[in-house]
Amino acid sequence: MSRTADEDPTPGAASQTPGDPATADETPRGISRRGLLGLFGAGAAGVAVGGGAGAAIASSAAASSGVDSTRVYPFAGEHQAGIVTPAQDRLHFAAFDMASGATRDDLISLLQDWSAAAARMTRGAEIGDTGAVGGSEFAPPEDTGEALDLPAAGLTITIGFGPTLFTDASGIDRFGIASAKPAELEPLPRFAGDALEPGATGGDLCIQACADDPQVAVHAVRNLSRIAFGRASLRWSQLGFGRTSSTSTSQVTARNLFGFKDGTANLKAEETQAIDDGVWVQAGDGSAWLTGGSYLVVRRVRMIIETWDRSQLGEQERVIGRSKGAGAPLSGGTEFTPIDLAATGAAGQPLIDKGAHVRLAHPDVNGGIRLLRRGYNYVDGNDQLGRLNAGLFFMSYQRSPQQFITVQKNLARDNLNEYIKHVGSALFAIPPGASEGGWVGETLFA
């Protein structure tokens, strides 16, 4: 076999790679192949292509994963990563159902295997002892390999438990955990205008993989899905290509597919007290095993963009309650000026329309409730009428599902409803983070 080329990286090339090599390399099971390739691969290729092209090659390699592609977020911690982590640019989300006949031990071993794999992938390491190319030629590789040359790319993997994991549709306690089911972990109520499709709704388990490089996020879901084989299988999944929510004050506000800035007033990681109050489940909230965790609501919100695109600019701004360009509230100021819901114009009319999205979602009309949103734009081809199947894959984290439910009920009067349709929905309990070497869900089974 001619795999010797893999095993002779050029040490000198390491200086081309920013970041801390030690972070990516210190795996509990030894130096990973992907770690080596990640550090040296681009440089080695540069030598092969010819001298002088090194800089261009490094830049081209980085282009597939964005500026901060060498960022590494630890998998273990008090809370799972991927919640208050500054929202990465790309998403692959997957909902799973446990296999028919799967046992409690299957579930526990799956969570252990997922956690071990996630800890490795989020470091930029390959899965398993031998990865994609280090094993026997007579065995399937442990890692599928499409992320071999790519850095960690800020990957986070966040694992959640749906209501049906605790009691299935027939009320059966398949895994002996029904008694630990949080009282609030119930399927979301039906909201006005819901047009939910079974193929985008529910799930026993979920994986949220976020990264700066879509190939890294896809690699994560694919390999976790592969690991689940025989124990759980994909129920539905969604790729998101552009984050729409800032979760940190260090981030620019991005635009959704209506062309408006989204997430300006989002909860930000830097607001630590508000995050404690609004995102993390606290001791005494009910289920002790969930302390330090959260609840995740996901909603696939199809946008009727052809209708939107034919509406007047003034109508679009009235619907949202902000200017389209700067994202400033129509009550005046600039993007980050607080919204003045009481402001009126010369004729006494409210500057923020009674049905404006920013009014109905505002904490002042929702008992002070704020959510940590983490949404992504999506486009999934088009329908048979030639309309893009596009919209917002809404995700929000909150201490209690009641926060989302309260706001969503209020949005029944939202001007936006003429232009959107909720076609997918799910709720998951998000356990606290794994301890170093531990696994997500350990507190539930302890």
Q: Interaction with a second copy in 396-425: which residues (CB under 8 A)?
A: none
Q: Cβ(124)–Cβ(151) under 8 Å?
A: yes
- Options 1-9, 114-122, 275-283, 400-408: segment touching a second copy (CB under 8 A): 1-9
Rule CB under 8 A: choose which of 57, 111, 405, 426 binds a second copy: 57
Q: Which of residues 276-295 bind a second copy (CB under 8 A)?
A: none
Amino acid at 446: A
Asked if residue 37 binds a second copy (CB under 8 A), the reply is yes
Site string for a second copy, 172-211 (x = CB under 8 A): ---------------------------x------------
- HSE at residue 123, side-chain half, CA atoms within 13 A, is 28
DSSP of 162-225: -HHHHS-TT---TTS-GGG--TT-SPPPPPTTB---GGGB--SEEEEEEESSHHHHHHHHHHHH
- Options 11-19, 113-121, 251-259, 283-291: segment touching a second copy (CB under 8 A): 251-259
Residues 6+ apart with CB under 8 A from 147: 34, 121, 215, 216, 219
Cα 280 to chain centroid, rounded: 17
* Strands 294-303 vs 254-255: parallel, antiparallel or unpaired: unpaired
Asked if residue 245 binds a second copy (CB under 8 A), the reply is no
Residues paired with 427 in a beta bridge: 297
Q: Which of residues 75-94 bind a second copy (CB under 8 A)?
A: 86, 89-90, 92
Asked if residue 387 binds a second copy (CB under 8 A), the reply is yes
Asked if residue 136 binds a second copy (CB under 8 A), the reply is yes
Q: Cβ(27)–Cβ(60) under 8 Å?
A: no
Rule CB under 8 A: choose which of 214, 375, 431, 433 binds a second copy: 214
- Which residue from 441, 411, 403, 366 is spatially nearest to 188, judged by alpha carbons? 403
State in Å, rounded, how far the first CA of the chain is from the last one.
47
Nearer to a second copy, 57 or 102 (CB): 57
Asked if residue 212 binds a second copy (CB under 8 A), the reply is yes
Nearer to a second copy, 147 or 281 (CB): 147
Asked if residue 19 binds a second copy (CB under 8 A), the reply is no
Please state the closest distance from residue 182 (CB atom) to a second copy, in A. Answer: 27
Asked if residue 371 binds a second copy (CB under 8 A), the reply is no
DSSP of 66-115: -TTTT----S-SSS-SSSSSPPPSEEEEEEEEEPTT--HHHHHHHHHHHH
Asked if residue 252 binds a second copy (CB under 8 A), the reply is yes
Structure tokens at 294: 């959260």
In three-state secondary structure terms, 16 is helix
Nearer to a second copy, 239 or 411 (CB): 239
Q: Which of residues 139-168 bind a second copy (CB under 8 A)?
A: 139-141, 143-149
Q: Cβ(76)–Cβ(438) under 8 Å?
A: yes
Nearer to a second copy, 201 or 366 (CB): 201
Site string for a second copy, 88-127 (x = CB under 8 A): -xx-x-----------------------------------
Nearer to a second copy, 158 or 331 (CB): 331
Asked if residue 346 binds a second copy (CB under 8 A), the reply is no
DSSP of 311-340: S-HHHHHHHHSB-TTT--BTTSS-TTSPP-
Nearer to a second copy, 64 or 406 (CB): 64
CB atoms within 10 A of CB 99: 16
- Please give the Cα distance from 430 to 143 (Å, whole number): 26
Rule CB under 8 A: choose which of 75, 258, 397, 439 binds a second copy: 258
Site string for a second copy, 306-345 (x = CB under 8 A): x--xxxxxx-xx-----xxxx-xxxxxxxxx---------
Please state the closest distance from residue 281 (CB atom) to a second copy, in A. Answer: 29
Asked if residue 31 binds a second copy (CB under 8 A), the reply is no
Asked if residue 2 binds a second copy (CB under 8 A), the reply is yes
Rule CB under 8 A: choose which of 67, 172, 342, 365 binds a second copy: 67
Q: What phi and psi values does residue 188 have, to the nearest 5 degrees?
A: -60, 150
- The count of residues interacting with a second copy (CB under 8 A) is 114
